[in-house]
Amino acid sequence: MASQNLQSVPAELSPEELEREQAGQAYFDRIISEDSRIEPRDWMPEAYRKTLLRQISQHAHSEIIGMQPEANWITRAPSLKRKAILMAKVQDEAGHGLYLYSAAETLGQSRDKMTTDLIAGKARYSSIFNYPAISWADMGAIGWLVDGAAICNQVPLCRASYGPYGRAMVRICKEESFHQRQGFEILLELSNGTPAQKQMAQDAVNRWYAPALMMFGPPDDDSPNSKQSMAWNIKRFSNDELRSRFVGMMVEQIKVLGLTLPDKDIRFNEETKKWEHGPLDWNEFKDVLAGKGPCNAQRLERRREAHDDGAWVREAAAEYARKQAEKEYAA
């Protein structure tokens, strides 16, 4: 693979190589300082490539694993309309995963390697998808809170310094807002329904609130990579900054829903002009990331199964293509 040359930095560089590296670094620094975009074939620091590859592939995996909690509810959606909406949303998540895998591939990682890493349990994905979706109201809470948090995180990523990532994010953000609105609508309908339905909606919000806040990542003083990512214009705002913004939006929206957020400590800090929230259980976050969440094993198992079950389709399609090409060649 051509790009692997870029991945191994030789211990000692010849004078010409050193000169090329320095020229590359200078060009890269200029592009970043002008807030312009780096494109796939540009020289880039090895750490920049690695950081992006990790972030984009994890993001892609999250979209793919993220199909599961909602796909589980397609057969049990309360109406044909809701079923059609849910199917469209799950299809979007698959699409988002594919856009992001394409972006990651431009950094020199093959699609197959990423797929294999995911099903082998070697790759990470967002902690949020390791929580179970136990009621229909969870489809509402996932759309409103989880996709809402994702949008908050992703809108600034449209301006990420790496061109293919930014372009994938633009496409994703356009599609994502339907996801959040349909979730909001599910909750609103339940909230205006019977007392039991309203309780179901409140229960879902109670369970998804804290995990959604943790989607923004650890607090700034415990997020070692953030500073470098911001210096490279990959990240535009810190984890805490985005989390605070999100809390501010939810505070208003929950009123329209006629429900409450399970957090007594929410307040607007007049001095910092920022929204503050109650303590989050970061040990739980670390456990879920480390594979000890309620659904980690189930999600990976399901993904592995789907990949294995699809093997014959991929093989048949490849074989058909090979035979057609052969025929064309012979003719």
Partner 1 sequence: MIPNDSPTSQARPGTPVVVAPAANEPHETPWSLWEVFVRSSRGLSHVHAGSLHAPDAAMALRNARDLYTRRNEGVSIWVVPADAISSSDPDSKGSFFESPQGKDYRHATYYTKSEGVKHL
Pick 39 or 220: Cβ nearer partner 1: 39
Pick 25 or 260: Cβ nearer partner 1: 25
Interaction of residue 56 with partner 1, rule CB under 8 A: no
Long-range CB contacts (within 8 A, 24+) of 79-84: 82/139, 82/186
Structure tokens at 180: 């959040």
Pick 174 or 292: Cβ nearer partner 1: 174
Pick 66 or 293: Cβ nearer partner 1: 66
Stretch near partner 1 under the rule CB under 8 A, chosen from 179-187, 239-247, 282-290, 309-317 = 309-317
d(CA 180, CA 150): 10
Concatenated DSSP letters of 23-75: HHHHHHHHHHHTT--B-TTS---HHHHHHHHHHHHHHHHHHHHTHHHHHTTGG
Interaction of residue 211 with partner 1, rule CB under 8 A: no
Pick 45 or 108: Cβ nearer partner 1: 108
Interaction of residue 21 with partner 1, rule CB under 8 A: no
Q: What angle do CA 99, 102, 107 make, to 5 degrees?
A: 135
Q: 228 vs 48, 62, 103, 157, 323, CA distance in Å?
A: 9, 23, 21, 15, 50
Site for partner 1 in 72-131 (CB under 8 A): 88, 91-92, 95, 98-99, 102-103, 105-108, 110-113, 116
For the four alpha carbons of 275, 293, 138 and 264, in that order, the dihedral sign comes to negative
Instruction: Compute how many residues bind partner 1; rule: CB under 8 A.
Output: 39
Interaction of residue 225 with partner 1, rule CB under 8 A: no
Looking at 26, 134, 256, 321, which residue binds partner 1 (CB under 8 A)? 321
Q: Whole-number minimum distance, CB 143 to partner 1, in Å?
A: 17
Interaction of residue 318 with partner 1, rule CB under 8 A: yes
Q: Whole-number minimum distance, CB 196 to partner 1, in Å?
A: 36
Structure tokens at 206: 């109670």
Residue 235 makes CB contacts below 8 A (sequence gap 6+) with: 156, 157, 160, 226, 229
Stretch near partner 1 under the rule CB under 8 A, chosen from 36-44, 133-141, 205-213, 231-239 = 36-44
The answer to whether the CB of 215 falls within 8 A of the CB of 149 is: yes
Identity of the amino acid at 96: H
The answer to whether the CB of 146 falls within 8 A of the CB of 212 is: yes
Binding interface with partner 1 (CB under 8 A): 1-3, 39-42, 88, 91-92, 95, 98-99, 102-103, 105-108, 110-113, 116, 164, 167-168, 171, 175, 311, 314-315, 317-318, 320-322, 324-325
